[in-house]
Chain A
Amino acid sequence: MPQVALTVNGKQHTVEVEGRTLLVELLREKLGLTGTHVGCDTSQCGACVVHVDGVSAKSCTMLALQADGTNVLTIEGLAAADGTLHPMQEMFREHHALQCGFCTPGMVMSAVDLVNSHPQGLTEKQIREGLEGNLCRCTGYHNIVKAIAAAWPLMHQKAAAE
């Protein structure tokens, strides 16, 4: 079986996979990182979003072999090493932007990329359009939109300070 070598949440792994193994299957089944979820089979729901080399990607739509040599960040690796939540995680909690929690890992990872890629600011409309690839059935998105808007200044102030 072919091998794939990649870094996940700062740890290096070399894993044997089938040619057809998806990145999300590698994460969930080979590495036990079950925080990344599978909510559909048509690349529509976004529950599986992770960051590959810093950019959000649907891990159900990427072969594990395509991730060879990449640096993958999953929801498990988003908080600081001491457990301090990322500002996006903190704002999701503060604004009640999650209910059942199933879409949440993908939603948070998409939201982080959305904020990162909009250093000039984010309107409500841009946030809603930016969530095109993520479905939530519980919240009606109201509080997700609020949480992302609230995380934007926290993330960019933090980036500016560093």
Chain B
Amino acid sequence: MPFEGIGAAVRRKEDARFLSGRGNYTDDINRPGQLHAFVRRSDRPHARIGRIDTEQAAKAPGVVAVFTGADMAADNVGGLPCGWQIHNKDGSPMKEPPHPVIAVDKVRHVGDPVAVVVAETKQAAKDAAELIEIDYQELPAVASVRDAIAPGASLVHDDAPGNICYDWHIGDKALVDAAFAKAAKVVKLELTNNRLIPNAMEPRAAVGDFDPHGGDFTLYTTSQNPHVIRLLMGAFVLHIPENKLRVVAPDVGGGFGSKIYHYAEEAIVTWAAGKVRRPVKWTAERNESFMSDAHGRDHDTMAEMALDADGNFLALRVSTLANMGGYLSTFAPCIPTYLYATLLAGVYKTPVIYCEVKAVFTNTVPVDAYRGAGRPEATFLLERLVDACARDTGMDRVAIRRKNFIPADAFPYQTPVALQYDSGDYQATLDACLKAADYAGFEARRAAAAAKGKLRGIGISTYLEACGIAPSAVVGSLGARAGLYEVANIKVHPTGSVSVYTGTHSHGQGHETTLAQLVTDQLGVPFDQVEVVHGDTGKIPFGMGTYGSRSLAVGGTAMVKAMDKIIAKGKKIAAHLMEASVEDIEFKDGQFSVAGTDKSKTLTDISLAAYVPHNYPIEELEPGLDETAFYDPKNFTFPGGCHVAEVEIDKDTGVAEVVNFVAVDDVGRVINPMIVEGQVQGGVAQGIGQALLENAVYDEGGQLLSGSFMDYSMPRANDLPMIKVGTETTLCTHNPLGVKGCGEVGAIGSPPAVINAVIDALKDYGVRHIDMPASPQKLWSIIRSGTPRMAAE
């Protein structure tokens, strides 16, 4: 048997269907008698809705029904719920204004749904939607957090004064202020983390189906967590009990966070299917993705580091304005708080930290988690600030990092901002990355680039993140309204093949392969006899889905626990069959054997006996070999590492090109190195995209200017270099696999490495900071207006 267990670069099971056009994405699903929905969206950023005239639309050819928010309200449909409650500094809860599925009295961003047409064809629905007449009374709009908190600003929600959702803090302010008062040096940096649009390649889609015989609803949807959608939509929005609602998330074409949330269209097609008693399908056009998928990032921050005379970090003080958009998306409130401020220790032993965050409503699309979610914002802030500290103190960028690293022998390490890190070795990842990037040889490359008229710079980022989300009791105490455990059901079938039913969801991560490797490793079942099933509440006991790099650390551990139960039961059956005591049965490589003898039974012998229990300990043991485990993690996991970027800037055009990129990450034990490398490369590509290309731009009036692939600069093949990936491993200490997670590290570590490299390239131009994206226009302006300090030499 080829080695296909833990550590093998097994080629992916899912590829055969994806490469042959046999994937089954939501828009590929067509139900008998299916109708099509088109959502008429607001083109106004902020307006009161007067009369909505649907008469002409309702009479248009092929139209079956036209619905407005009033129709849903009349049917007692609830608003879209928020899954996390943050408390203000004074202990009072955040403002949590209603979020109607279809806008009722007001629209709050361009893209807000105003009406829905259901028709025989998509074109008929779209044509008819144009016939709906809407009277808007326009209101002044606020698009940026600065505008939104200005005195007298227009209110997005009447019951959120000053447009403040919450005013939250963490850390000991008095201790931090005292440390600043006696600091030898204080380094300040004001920065923004640019707003991004996730843009998974598959646009969101949903098909609602209603079976009038039993009154059962089925929703097919592009979701990262079908059970969570069933819970939120069933319990809070449509009031359908779980036993009457099945949610299927089939093949999903990328998520990156944007497909976690419960979206309006999921409720619309499910509810409408019940109303018209026919299946209803909705598929987003890309322009709808831009104006209705949750966006990411969008922070304005002031950060200050206090240092002693030797360059030791004494204290960190941070104040952030976080844009929430027009409504609270499902997990929005926890992103700039518990997934951001708790990460501000990073890899450094900064003794005291204080961070305050004001979350602000604006007339923009809701903002929620996007690949990394909070951790990229924390990492960008820290790694830019550390470079600024090096610059302002005259210390070397590598030396100041090494001096302040949490040492490898300090774990478990308690940070001043709540988290306790279990393991890591930041010197090791830094050393390996500097070596792989030939950091020592950089100045020669800089000189060679200068000789051909290019500005070359190198940048470092040493980062840490928290994932493996999350211990339920901990997140519950922090405001989460759900548990974040995971579930695995493993069936060993009578003739020995295995089905794994996991509550996590794969939308590109390759779980069908990686999770099967766990089974091959633990149960000794050949890889091709293991099938992984995910994404269907009708098949899987429960699950919280995939985000926060949790699938292996939490979902994989649930599988290990379920397989432990299978082995324990198998030993009892084997003991009976081989007339030995259970204590003498050993299990290894798929064989149950009696210690010290040559007697053994295969797992298939045992499973057959379990399902055909003719000779079986039936008095003490149930038939079957089918076990389920729920696993609630004990802690977050803490991947980290070092990224080094090298850029060349063309002086004439201002174009920055990443010419070399190396990532060395500690993601814990690696199950499939090929997949880990691919995950890191993909994350780095998104990080380079954020640093150099991508930017969601609203004008002052709240119109989205970057609303298509013509306007929003997605990284293309020619924008990116080959991305070298390495790993340095310390094991996670609190899960049996020792895994930490690799899905987000690339997007978290890379943006500051790139910007640090750009600033290094421009070091002779007196540039202290550049906000992302470092566009050609920005860099060209700096080069044109700046006088190189070294020019005279």
Residues of chain A touching chain B, judged by Cβ–Cβ distance below 8 Å, are: 18, 20, 28, 33-42, 44-45, 47, 74-76, 78-79, 85, 89, 92-94, 96, 98-105, 108, 124-125, 127-129, 131-132, 134-145
Contacts and interface: CB of A to CB of B under 8 A. Distances in A.
B201 A93 contact: no
B709 A135 contact: yes
Contacts of A94: 11
A127 B717 contact: yes
A144 to B, nearest CB: 7
B487 to A, nearest CB: 23
Cβ-closest 7 pairs across A and B: A35-B21, A102-B253, A140-B685, A101-B18, A100-B508, A44-B709, A99-B508
B709 A142 contact: no
A138 to B, nearest CB: 5
B20 A45 contact: no
A94 to B, nearest CB: 7
A109 to B, nearest CB: 10
A100 B28 contact: no
Given A39-B203, A44-B710, A135-B201, A140 B16 contact: no
Nearest to B711: A42
A145 B79 CA distance: 46
Q: Which among A34, A76, A144 has the highest number of chain B CB atoms within 10 Å? A: A34
A101 B286 contact: no
A92 to B, nearest CB: 6
Contacts of A35: 20-23
B201 A103 contact: yes
Interface stretch (B348-356, B515-523, B615-623, B675-683): B675-683
19 contacts: A37-B202, A42-B708, A44-B708, A44-B709, A96-B675, A101-B508, A128-B718, A129-B718, A131-B717, A135-B716, A137-B199, A138-B678, A139-B678, A139-B681, A139-B685, A140-B681, A140-B746, A142-B681, A142-B723
Nearest to B22: A35
Contacts of B252: 100
Nearest to A130: B717
Contacts of A20: 123
B674 A96 contact: yes
B31 interface: no
A137 B20 contact: no
Interface of A is mostly: loop
B20 A92 contact: no
B687 to A, nearest CB: 10
Contacts of A105: 21
B333 to A, nearest CB: 26
A99 B678 CA distance: 8
A34 B22 CA distance: 8
Contacts of B256: 137
A99 B510 contact: yes
B435 interface: no
Contacts of A93: 11-12, 15-16, 19
Contact of A139 (B16, B18, B19, B682): B682
Given A102-B254, A137-B254, A131 B718 contact: yes
A41 B508 contact: no
A141 B689 CA distance: 13
Nearest to B18: A101
B18 A98 contact: yes
B145 to A, nearest CB: 27
Contacts of B679: 99
Contacts of B25: 34, 37, 102
A83 B685 CA distance: 33
B709 A145 contact: no
B685 A100 contact: no
Interface in B680-721: 681-686, 708-710, 714-718, 720
A89 B20 contact: yes
B681 A131 contact: no
B251 interface: yes
A18 B127 CA distance: 14
Contacts of B130: none
Given A89-B19, A132-B718, 6 more contacts: A45-B286, A74-B21, A75-B21, A136-B717, A140-B686, A143-B681
Interface string B200-223: 111100000000000000000000
Contacts of B201: 37, 39, 45, 47, 100, 102-103, 135-138
Contacts of A98: 15, 18-19
B285 A41 contact: yes
B259 to A, nearest CB: 11
Contacts of B600: none
Contact of A138 (B15, B20, B682, B717): B682
Given A37-B202, A103-B201, A138 B508 contact: yes
A125 B721 CA distance: 10
Interface in B1-43: 11-12, 14-23, 25, 27-28
Contact of A79 (B20, B27, B202): B20
A135 B17 CA distance: 20
Nearest to A39: B201
B497 interface: no
Given A41-B287, A102-B253, A33 B12 contact: no
A144 B18 CA distance: 14
A104 B251 CA distance: 13
B507 interface: yes
Contact of A18 (B123, B714, B718): B123
Contacts of A38: 27, 203
Contacts of A124: 722
A49 B71 CA distance: 41
Given A93-B12, A131-B717, A102 B722 contact: no
B509 interface: yes
B717 A45 contact: no
Given A45-B201, A76-B21, A101 B253 contact: yes
A60 B622 CA distance: 57
B709 A141 contact: no
Contacts of A141: 685, 716-717, 720
Contacts of B123: 18, 20
Nearest to A75: B21
A134 B675 CA distance: 22
Given A131-B716, A137-B256, A41 B708 contact: yes
Contacts of A36: 21
A99 B586 CA distance: 39
Contacts of B677: 96
Nearest to B20: A79
Contacts of B714: 44, 135, 137
Contacts of B28: 28, 34
A17 to B, nearest CB: 11
Nearest to A93: B15
B21 A34 contact: yes
Among A45, A75, A138, chain B packs the most CB atoms within 10 A around the CB of A138
Given A135-B714, A137-B254, A145-B717, A40 B709 contact: yes
A44 B201 CA distance: 11
Contacts of A139: 678, 681-682, 685
B288 to A, nearest CB: 9
Contacts of B685: 139-142
Interface string B712-741: 001111101011000000000000000000
Q: Which of B17, B254, B256 has the most CB of A within 10 A?
A: B254
Given A100-B508, A135-B709, A138-B254, A92 B19 contact: yes
Contacts of B16: 93
Nearest to B684: A140
Interface in B26-68: 27-28
Nearest to B688: A140
B549 to A, nearest CB: 15
Nearest to B16: A93
Question: Which of A41, A124, A132 gathers the greatest number of chain B CB atoms within 10 Å?
Answer: A41
A100 B510 CA distance: 8
A127 B28 CA distance: 30
Contact of A40 (B254, B286, B716, B718): B286
